[in-house]
Chains A and B, each alone.
Chain A
């Protein structure tokens, strides 16, 4: 029977990885992911999890080690954040095109400079194009559930792509929440043992990672892209199976009080819960406001998002990173592309908030909605606005 406990989200994630029977865990510590890997090494040391915990000497080594272990046929997990994730950059593009289903939890944290240990989405937005499936968790329960879902999807023989679950650093990783931890029997029903399509084995010698000469490179990348698109079907199927076994429903895009909304806020990750509180407050004050939360970031669920927007004419998109010199943040850019020249498309206004751990409060969301309404009447000069920045 599953049990409902008050538990730190990082620890709960480790428990989920244990329930998933991960086999090789190469990991390097970085704030704020440390509790995840610490607890996993404890579980292995106590014999609670039959796995190899590999205390590698850098994040780059962690991801390299993951590639070797996954290619050899073991269920592989790691976790990182910010600078560590950046250090892995060189390698991240490799297991995805090589179809190695590694699962990684990223505790989202701002990037240096200046060095910051606090939460925003820079670290993962820099890795937008690595070709991994990516989801965002809003709370501790989601963090656990999406981790289990990640193993199921990544290793599905129709998918076979690595997957990242994003959790906001500190805001989620270090809070204690009431979480329902599933029991081993339920997880085993949801997650069968890893059976890779190919693996390194002298009984069947194959070559992995050859030179992709120009005659073949384009086809290799297109095949990967097609696999990403095809994966959506299996991502959704796995969420259906999850609901059947665990009773909790997940969708690629979640709607909150959107039915007759004039303005829709768009968020990803833990600020979504504050946004829901803000929407309730604004609704109580008579405003027709709603919220869309993007849970599946890659492959981007365009169809589901358009459907969720419905007839609403104003979108206020919140990006939690600020790419200097870009026209607007990545989520804003994605949505503008999605709706470009679509008849009846909403007006899309981009906002940047919550950089480097700065709180995004209910008041800020109200400010964003106000501004979005103003911009709808008179086009803003800039394509995005940074919320909550002091001038002097």
Chain B
């Protein structure tokens, strides 16, 4: 699921840059052809409109599985503000203690939650600018078509920002890369007897 998402996210981001360039939101700010997927807008659009299905379906499966299995709650909650501050302070001192990769620190939890919300927001704002008449209620809720467009752009910026940190840190801690490919270690939940069938 992670790697489907990684590929589709890159497709959505780079094809989105191709679409963006026909009518820029920030004057003078362009993405050069090198960074765009699709040799011109029509193909960037086709990539984007193909990728959206994979992104949405994969994302839905991830969220449903995460909620039903309790994995999201177990891994990402609770987040205590004091822990976030402590982790930031530690990190600035280059004390990155990530010894047990099955447990996320507070900043990781926060960033993962932010990026999950950003992903959901991209689908919602994307739906609004894809079908602004059929979903006109959603568009006015978002503050109009052009505002929804800017939100869609901002959501991309959040995800790209996350991606840079996420990939940089994963490369610094190579062990996590193997875990991401293979599924990673999982410590048995406490209190469960050996040999019990999974429930």
Please determine whether chains A and B interact with each other in the same assembly: no
Q: Which residues of A line the B interface, CB within 8 A?
A: none
